[in-house]
Amino acid sequence: MHFNKANNCYEIQALPVHDIVQQYGAPLFVYDAQKIMDQYAKMTKSLRGVKQVKINYACKALSNITILKLLKDLGAGLDAVSYQEIRLGLQAGFQPESIIFTPNSVSIQELEAAIALGVNINIDNLETLEYMGMQHPTIPLCIRINPHIMAGGNANISVGHIDSKFGISIHQVPHIERLVESLGIKIEGVHMHTGSDILDVDVFAHAADLLFNVARRFKQLKYIDFGSGFKVKYQQQDIETDMDAFGAMMTEKFNAFCRETGQDLVLAFEPGKFLVSEAGYFIASTNVIKQTTSAIFAGIDSGFNHMIRPMFYGAYHHIINISNPEGKSKLYTVVGYICETDTFGWNRKINEIKEGDLLCFKNAGAYCFSMASNYNSRYRPAEVLVHQSTAHLIREREDFEDLTRRQVQPDLNF
């Protein structure tokens, strides 16, 4: 999104955002397809020195089927964490062999259902590894290692630390080897994901060294998967992961490992936020301006039922008033209509807001719609994709029938 000074409006691919909202209503999620393509190209370019690279999109970030189709056409595989995400990927056209299933704490029934679909299986606990060796000894597996690294600086988004539920502890690798040898399990991949918003390339380098040490123990590998965690910008002054520096470091280390071991491996990653976060915008209209003794509240036609990240993670989303792009700035606390504390931002400097003005939240492509709910019996909003300067509806806005569709009303004598 950029501000067109000549037309005094914000635009996405030359389309005025006001026109998009006028056509599809608010609240509304809008995604810029070109930004997704640019981010994918940026990552592949940074790794151009590696012979075989596979980018598996972590679809939990944004699982709309049209977005999945876009990434499939770019050449991505799919990282799925549930049976339902696998089914969405298949419906979007991904082949089973291009999908990796990385579940956590799922039932054996869900695991078996995924196996029946023919996808790649990533195992994150010893008990499941033993089960697979007993019940499916011919299926090659990937194993997820917990490196015991606090990455990202926040326990809510760091998933590779010692107290994390994810992965098999790096100190339990001898147990993995015992099961592999005893049951004849074929390990075709090793995997690690340390967290999100990792800025320091040295963190990736340290994690890579740990995973390479694990990989040396398995002689039938086809790929090494380093997960993701790249930091994107949330504020203008933010620093993002230096992808050129990251790519140079990873290329050198990976190619050296392949030469050392004599293996021709695939280098895999599974970015989600990196690909779609900055491509997304959430737009809501202002219902009320309310001044109290401590703040001026801008109450919008939305809440954490649509975008929970600020309340759940303390995440920052830059907010702009697209209805008053060159107005005088004032301090506002932007809140929602949910009957809970749902504050999007405290004392934000925003161009003067009036009732009916449209506020736009940036970085709304990842973990926003995918975490939306019907709390307070509110409807989930529509989604629009802007592709080649045309806005396309990719999800209809919910209505009252959607709230009651699955409810059953038995004939009871209350």
> Kind and range of the H or E element at 285?
strand 280-291
HEC-encoded secondary structure of 108-161: HHHHHHHHHCCCEEEECCHHHHHHHHHHCCCCCEEEEEECCCCCCCCCCCECCC
The CATH topology of domain 2-31+277-404 is Lyase, Ornithine Decarboxylase; Chain A, domain 1 (2.40.37)
Regions of the chain with pLDDT less than 70: 150-163, 194-200
Tokens of 410: 């038995």
Q: Which residues contact 181 (CB under 8 A, 6 or more apart)?
A: none
The confidence score (pLDDT) of residue 153 equals 47
Instruction: Report the C-alpha gap between 215 and 209 in whole angstroms.
Output: 10
Predicted model pTM: 0.93
- Tell me what pLDDT residue 412 has: 92
Q: Which residues are catalytic?
A: 339
Please give the helix or strand (H or E) that residue 2 lies within, else none: strand 2-4
CA distance 408 to 406: 6
Which numeric CATH code is attached to 63-271?
3.20.20.10
> CATH 3.20.20.10 region(s) of the chain?
63-271
Rounded CA separation 222/189 (Å) = 6
Question: Which residue ranges does the chain devote to CATH 2.40.37.10?
Answer: 2-31+277-404
What is the CA 321 to chain-centroid distance, rounded? 26
Residue of 149, 142, 200, 141 whose CA lies nearest to 170: 149
The pLDDT value recorded for residue 82 is: 97
**What local confidence, expressed as pLDDT, does residue 204 receive?**
81
> Which of the 8 DSSP states describes residue 163?
T
